[in-house]
């Protein structure tokens, strides 16, 4: 007899095993693992075989797992941010990062207004917001794959994605409170901004207080005493979970949604605040749990909640195609201009634009929350998730195409990623360097990156953790 418990275990096995295998396959093809994990959910969901195996939708037994997985995804995104990086990037990079978010936001909002039936203003902004986020973890993955992680160009791209993601999470909190609040819009916006300002002041106040204690060695003494006195195993990881849940609970109590708390809790945890040894130990445990269980399941759940059968209206299909075009073009244009401002070559600037066009975890986490809150219909959720899937696939492929347009850029690319010159290259074979001009790869210009021997200051490696040939 097949009981509901057995059905749950079988469904969990199919989603977890399928997402891990598909994620590995996607990584070997040069794509972030989330591409394969989304496709597995799409395969097992209502779009294809879901109605035949009992996975036509996510049942209530998966709701709690999806909530925890969403919190982990947002916390992992926050872990990639070091507050000092925001101050070091300079006003020019700060403005470029904001432009990389605002221009696609406005372009998407205009396209949605034209393509969809009249939607509430906040719903239009929510859709545009989820289509305007450059994925910070996916950016880190691509920089590792393309050998850019240690150069000035890589730091520049990570800064753009960092500002983009912070702007998106902050605006999302304000819009969500505006959507759920009562009274005049101006009052609701004022309350949202005030609540968010107070929350951020508390979080960053704690961060800089710990940094101050660390510089006076008081924090090190407290850490040593804690390590000596605390008897429970895994105390550091347990305290990390307390911080995560507490921050999520506080932001939820302020009507800012747990997204903000989970995201900014990750910002607090750096090798400076936790201490290098404790940070390394906690990160190892957290990365194992996140990348090995919760994050693959999260993307598989998103795939199950997508239903391409709902897009049976030619108008919806046309809207999907148009939004994919707007999502890619708006990022490529701003990224190209940013590269030109940095005096990059035309090919390198175009590649920067494509790298900035990828979406990812934070966008999908927001879409899941909006679907559960009834803000997104299943059709809108499917369109948003599909746009994220297509743009994430297109980003590395478009970057390779952009670099291949110039002999110098192609030579530099093959110097960084020799696998692209092989028949089995993970993004397709490119001509060998000697087939272009017979010369060794040129040195990267000063504006494009640092010499190979130069490396940025120590920090968490871009997600996912090594080995670098596996995208997450």
Q: Answer yes or no: are the C-beta atoms of 404 and 430 closer than 8 Å.
A: yes
pLDDT at 325 > cutoff 90 = yes
Give DSSP secondary structure letters for 198-221: HHHHHHHHHHHHHHHHHHTTHHHH
pLDDT at 464 > cutoff 50 = no
Residue in the structure block whose two tokens are 């993601």: 165
In this structure, whether the domain defined by 60-402 belongs to CATH 3.40.50.300 is answered with no
Residues in Cβ contact with 437 at an 8 Å cutoff, skipping those fewer than 6 apart: 407, 411
Say what the pLDDT of residue 185 is: 67
Predicted confidence (pLDDT) per residue in 10-63, tens digit: 888 999 999 999 989 988 887 888 889 999 999 998 888 877 777 767 777 788
Nearest to 352 by CA among 44, 171, 93, 38: 93
**424-450 burial, b if ≥16 CB within 10 A, otherwise e?**
ebbbeebeebeebeeeebeebeeebbb
Say what the pLDDT of residue 421 is: 66
CA pair distance 403, 442, nearest whole angstrom: 14
pLDDT at 259 > cutoff 50 = yes
Predicted confidence (pLDDT) per residue in 63-112, tens digit: 888 888 888 888 887 777 777 666 677 788 788 888 999 999 999 999 99
CA pair distance 353, 448, nearest whole angstrom: 14
Alpha-carbon dihedral of residues 464, 467, 469, 472, nearest 10 degrees? -20
**Checking phi first, is residue 439 left (phi over 0); if not, alpha (psi -120 to 50) or beta?**
beta
pLDDT at 116 > cutoff 50 = yes
Predicted confidence (pLDDT) per residue in 411-451, tens digit: 888 888 877 765 444 444 444 443 344 444 444 444 434 44
Per-residue pLDDT, averaged over 466-472, amounts to 42
**pTM score, whole prediction:** 0.78
Q: Answer yes or no: are the C-beta atoms of 66 and 298 closer than 8 Å.
A: yes
Say what the pLDDT of residue 153 is: 83
**CB-CB neighbours of 292 under 10 Å:** 12
Alpha-carbon dihedral of residues 297, 298, 301, 302, nearest 10 degrees? -150
> Is 417 strand, coil or helix?
coil
CA pair distance 149, 335, nearest whole angstrom: 17
Predicted confidence (pLDDT) per residue in 298-322, tens digit: 899 999 989 999 988 888 899 899 9
CA pair distance 459, 285, nearest whole angstrom: 17
Nearest to 129 by CA among 97, 189, 169, 98: 169
Say what the pLDDT of residue 465 is: 46
What is the C-alpha radius of gyration for the chain, rounded to an integer number of angstroms? 22
Within a 13 Å sphere around the CA of 341, how many CA atoms are in the beta-carbon half? Answer: 14
**Checking phi first, is residue 428 left (phi over 0); if not, alpha (psi -120 to 50) or beta?**
left
CA pair distance 285, 310, nearest whole angstrom: 40
> In terms of pLDDT, which residue wins out, 247 or 186?
247
Alpha-helix runs per DSSP H in 29-62: 33-44, 50-53
| Reported confidence tier of residue 327, pLDDT bands at 50, 70, 90 | very high
**In the 8-state DSSP scheme, what is residue 61?**
G
| Reported confidence tier of residue 329, pLDDT bands at 50, 70, 90 | very high
Name the average pLDDT for the chain. 79
């Amino acid at each position: 007899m097949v009981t509901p418990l057995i059905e749950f275990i079988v469904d969990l096995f199919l989603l977890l095993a399928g997402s891990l295998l598909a994620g590995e396959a996607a990584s070997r093809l040069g794509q972030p693992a989330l591409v394969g994990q989304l496709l597995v959910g799409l395969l097992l969901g209502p779009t294809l075989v879901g109605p035949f195996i009992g996975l036509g939708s996510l049942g209530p037994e998966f709701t709690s797992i999806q909530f925890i997985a969403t919190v982990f995804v947002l916390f992992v995104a926050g872990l990639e941010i070091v507050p000092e990086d925001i101050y070091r990037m300079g006003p020019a990079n700060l403005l470029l990062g904001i432009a990389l978010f605002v221009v696609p936001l406005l372009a998407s909002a205009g396209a949605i207004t034209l393509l969809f039936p009249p939607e509430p203003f906040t719903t239009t902004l929510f859709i545009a917001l989820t289509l305007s986020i450059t994925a910070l973890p996916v950016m880190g993955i691509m920089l590792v794959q393309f050998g850019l992680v240690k150069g000035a160009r890589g730091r520049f791209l990570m800064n753009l994605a960092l500002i983009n993601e912070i702007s998106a999470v902050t605006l999302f909190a304000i819009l969500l409170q505006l959507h759920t609040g009562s009274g005049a819009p101006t009052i609701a916006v004022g309350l949202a901004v005030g609540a968010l300002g107070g929350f951020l002041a508390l979080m960053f106040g704690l961060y800089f207080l710990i940094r101050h204690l660390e510089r006076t060695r008081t924090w090190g003494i407290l850490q040593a005493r804690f390590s000596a006195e605390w008897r429970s195993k895994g105390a550091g990881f347990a305290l990390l979970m307390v911080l995560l849940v507490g921050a999520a609970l506080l932001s939820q109590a302020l009507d800012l949604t747990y997204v903000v708390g989970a995201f900014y809790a990750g910002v607090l945890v750096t090798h400076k605040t936790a201490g290098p040894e404790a940070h390394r130990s906690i990160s190892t445990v957290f990365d194992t749990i996140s990348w090995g269980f919760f994050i693959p399941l999260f993307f598989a759940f998103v795939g199950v909640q997508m239903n391409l059968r709902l897009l049976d209206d030619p108008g919806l299909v046309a809207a999907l195609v148009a939004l994919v075009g707007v999502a890619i073009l708006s990022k490529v244009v701003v990224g190209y201009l940013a590269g030109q401002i940095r005096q990059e070559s035309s090919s390198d600037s175009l590649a920067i634009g494509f790298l900035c066009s990828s979406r990812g975890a934070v966008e999908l986490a927001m879409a899941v929350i909006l679907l559960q809150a009834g803000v997104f219909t299943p059709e809108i959720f499917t369109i948003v998730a599909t746009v994220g899937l297509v743009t994430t696939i297109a980003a590395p492929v478009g970057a390779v195409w952009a670099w291949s347009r110039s002999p110098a850029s192609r030579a530099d690319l093959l110097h960084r990623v020799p696998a692209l010159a092989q028949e089995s290259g993970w993004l397709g074979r490119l001509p060998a360097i000697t087939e272009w001009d017979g010369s060794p790869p040129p040195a990267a210009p000063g504006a494009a990156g640092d010499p190979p021997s130069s490396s940025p200051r120590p920090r968490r490696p871009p997600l996912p953790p090594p080995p670098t040939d596996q995208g997450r």
